[in-house]
Amino acid sequence: MRSLLMHAYYIAKKDLKEYYMKPGTISWGLLFPVVFTAAFLIKRGVYSAWVAPGLLALSVFFSSTSMTGSSIVFERRFGSFERLLLFPMRLIAVALGKSLGGTLFGLISSVISMTVIYLMTGATPTHPGLLAATVILTAVQASAFGALLAFLVRDPSNIMTTFNLVRLPMIFLSGIIVPVTQLPLVLKPVAYALPLTYSAELMRYAYLGQSGMPPALSATVIVLQAVAFLLLTDYIIRKSIP
């Protein structure tokens, strides 16, 4: 187990060194979430206090998925991904390492977004410990989701387009801008199937002390989704060996 975690850590460390300055990572992982957050918070009031936690979840989600996606796509395109398969380790270390890199990048982004939120709304969390835990859980879940998506994309050159096809609708369907309870009936099942919905709800609870679904349920779903995404990524990596 220790060896597995060490391998994952080394992969994550290498990814951060290599990909955190890539244009796609910076623009979609840092700039977009911060600008988006600032744009929604510019008008102060009750709505900005309500929307802010969801925007934090969105920032973490975009940052983590962008970082993981970039690292996998570049390595697949230039053939260096296969090098990871040559090391004497359990293959799941690759999925874990790639996700850990995205998680760390998501945490960096969360600090920036929380600062923006504080400066623009003065909002502080009701449950700071839960907020920290939620940020970490969201980053892990989003990274694993990004890794899975990156392996499912056949043409790596279209990765950000594909990512945004999946991510951008989530902004409107995950209860970030409009509460899930107010969505049309036909869209509600879609909202409950999206990973970002549960992060937004849990962050809202951590900030405001109330949310649209029980915090324990949100936390459980986030953890289960993170595990499922990791296992699926591992499965796809194994299947990709010709």
Partner 1 sequence: MTNCVCEVHGLTKFYGNFKAVDSVSFCVREGEIFGFLGPNGAGKTTTVRMLTGLTRISGGTARIFGYDVVRDGRKVKGLIGLVPDTSNLYSELTCWDNLIFHGEMHGVPRRLRAERAEELLELFDLRRFRNVKFRNLSKGLKRRLTIAAALMHGPKLLFLDEPTLGLDVLSRRRVWGLIRKLNREGLTIFLTTHNIYEAFELCDRIAVINKGRIVAIGTPAELRSRFSATRVIEVSFSPSRGPLRELAVMDGVMGLEGSGGRVKLIVQDSLAALEALTNYARRHGLSVESISLRGADAEEVFLNIIGGGSG
Mark residues 25-64: x for contact with partner 1 by CB under 8 A, - for none. ----------------------------------------
Helix (H) or strand (E) holding 72: helix 46-78
CB of 79 to partner 1, least distance (A): 4
Per CB under 8 A, 89 contacts partner 1: yes
CB of 86 to partner 1, least distance (A): 6
Per CB under 8 A, 7 contacts partner 1: yes
Of 1, 43, 46, 83, the one binding partner 1 (CB under 8 A) is 83
**Alpha helix locations (H) across 79-127?**
81-84, 92-121
Per CB under 8 A, 87 contacts partner 1: yes
Residue pair 72/81 in contact (Cβ under 8 Å)? The answer is: yes
Tell which residue, 179, 9, 207, 19, has the closest CA to residue 113.
207
Mark residues 90-129: x for contact with partner 1 by CB under 8 A, - for none. x---------------------------------------
Place of tokens 């969390």: 125
- Of the pair 25, 233, the CB lying nearest partner 1 is at 25
CB of 98 to partner 1, least distance (A): 13
Give residues with Cβ within 8 angstroms of 210, minimum separation 6. Answer: 204
Q: Helix (H) and strand (E) counts for the chain?
A: 11, 0
Per CB under 8 A, 2 contacts partner 1: no
Piece of the chain touching partner 1 by CB under 8 A; list 44-52, 56-64, 73-81, 184-192: 73-81
Per CB under 8 A, 76 contacts partner 1: no
Per CB under 8 A, 235 contacts partner 1: no
Helix (H) or strand (E) holding 159: helix 159-173
- Give the footprint of partner 1 on this chain (CB under 8 A): 3, 6-7, 10-11, 14, 17-19, 21, 74-75, 78-80, 82-90, 241-242
